[in-house]
Amino acid sequence: MAKRSVFHMLNPMKYNSPFDINMAVDSGYDVVVPYSNVKLEEVEGLTQDAIFSRGPAGVKQTGLFIGGRDIGLAMDMLDAAKKAMMPPFAMSVFADPSGAFTTAGALVAAVEAQLKNNFNQDLKGSRAIVFGGTGPVGLATAVIAAQQGADTTIVDHFSLDTALEYAAEAKERYGVDLHATTAASDADKARLISDADLVFCTAKAGIEVLNASVLGDAKQLKVAGDVNAVPPLGIAGIGIMDLGEPLKHASNSTGAVGIGALAIGNIKYKLQHALLKETLENDAIFLDFRNAFDGARKLV
């Protein structure tokens, strides 16, 4: 009898995301099993329990998902799972903590596409500012942008030390150089974006990060993307469905365009579905933010 497909979902936090569980079921997995409060040192044992119980044929119908909120921990758990495999006992693993990797991949790919379409420029050499850059989506966004050659700054609303800490971790883990700063006032934000080409807004939902007055100081802004779909939106003048619409409050001379949260979310949804199907249809592949960005580029 053919074995059913099984997806084991590991999460270091109290709850697994219902969004991720629904996505896994809709991608074609027959059985989805969530695990909560999983510690890094437990990943090896759980992985080997999953692969050795099904035989070489059954393990091809088995996948592992890594959630949580800490992208560094998610990458460590992905690495621990990978090291626990013993071919031909090996299954596919997909890390996407808080949807950060697929959201960041969709955001950067969408901004890149608009930059090329409207300004005939690449990410390489562009100056990018990431508001909310110490959160999981923001940090993943910054790392992807920096890996593509953008001169990237992460912004924490409250603490310079926090921003510097995350920039140092990104350097150690991914080999990218991120600038780090804080911006609590409108004056701080206006100064930051005055010579920015790209703005990525990944801050907390329901907070307007850049108001109309601040945007008026963006003298060379080309593309701004906002992942906040909860009013008030993160960037004034961007509609949630905008995909390359003129950015209303930016300096008229720049021709800046905006990308809204639902436009990005539509790409993210399709991307996560595609990557989940990849784990089901391919033997022993390991997916993280780099695969998410590659997949998002194909979608946009």
- Which sequence spans correspond to the domains of the chain? 6-95, 100-263
State how far the Cα of 2 lies from the Cα of 14, in Å rounded to an integer: 34
pLDDT in tens, 214-253: 999 999 999 999 999 999 999 999 999 999 999 988 876 6
pLDDT in tens, 94-115: 999 999 999 999 999 999 999 9
Q: What is the per-residue pLDDT for 3?
A: 87
Cβ neighbours for 51, distance < 8 A, ≥ 6 positions apart:
59, 62, 84, 85, 86, 89, 90, 91
Q: Is the distance from CB of 54 to CB of 46 less than 8 angstroms?
A: no
Q: Which residue has the tokens 């911006």?
A: 183
pLDDT in tens, 118-174: 999 999 999 999 999 999 999 999 999 999 999 999 999 999 999 999 999 999 999
State how far the Cα of 300 lies from the Cα of 297, in Å rounded to an integer: 5
Q: Write the DSSP symbol of residue 37.
A: S
pLDDT in tens, 177-205: 999 999 989 999 999 999 999 999 999 99
Nearest to 129 by CA among 196, 185, 214, 194: 196
**Whats the size of the chain, residue-wise?**
300
Find residue 181's DSSP bridge partners.
155
What's the rounded mean pLDDT across residues 56-63?
92
Pick among 3.40.50.150, 3.40.190.10, 3.40.50.720, 3.50.50.60: CATH of 100-263 = 3.40.50.720
Q: What is the per-residue pLDDT for 212?
A: 95
What's the rounded mean pLDDT across residues 260-287?
97
| CATH number 3.40.640.10 given to 6-95 | no
pLDDT in tens, 167-177: 999 999 999 99
Rounding to the nearest 10 degrees, give the CA dihedral for residues 125, 157, 161, 165.
Answer: -50
pTM of the model: 0.97
**pLDDT tier for residue 63 given thresholds of 50, 70 and 90:** very high
Q: What percent of the chain has pLDDT over 70?
A: 99
State how far the Cα of 220 lies from the Cα of 121, in Å rounded to an integer: 13
Q: What percent of the chain has pLDDT over 90?
A: 94
**pLDDT tier for residue 28 given thresholds of 50, 70 and 90:** very high
**pLDDT tier for residue 1 given thresholds of 50, 70 and 90:** low
Chain mean pLDDT for the chain: 96
Q: Which residue has the tokens 């100056």?
A: 127
What's the rounded mean pLDDT across residues 81-88?
96
Q: What is the per-residue pLDDT for 253?
A: 64
**Does the pLDDT of residue 78 top 70, yes or no?**
yes
Please state, as a whole number, how many other Cβ atoms lie within 10 Å of the Cβ of residue 242.
23
Sheet holding 243-246, edge to edge: 179-182, 151-156, 127-131, 198-201, 223-226, 257-259, 243-246
Cβ neighbours for 58, distance < 8 A, ≥ 6 positions apart:
3
Nearest to 155 by CA among 195, 128, 126, 122: 128
The helix/strand/coil state of 165 is helix
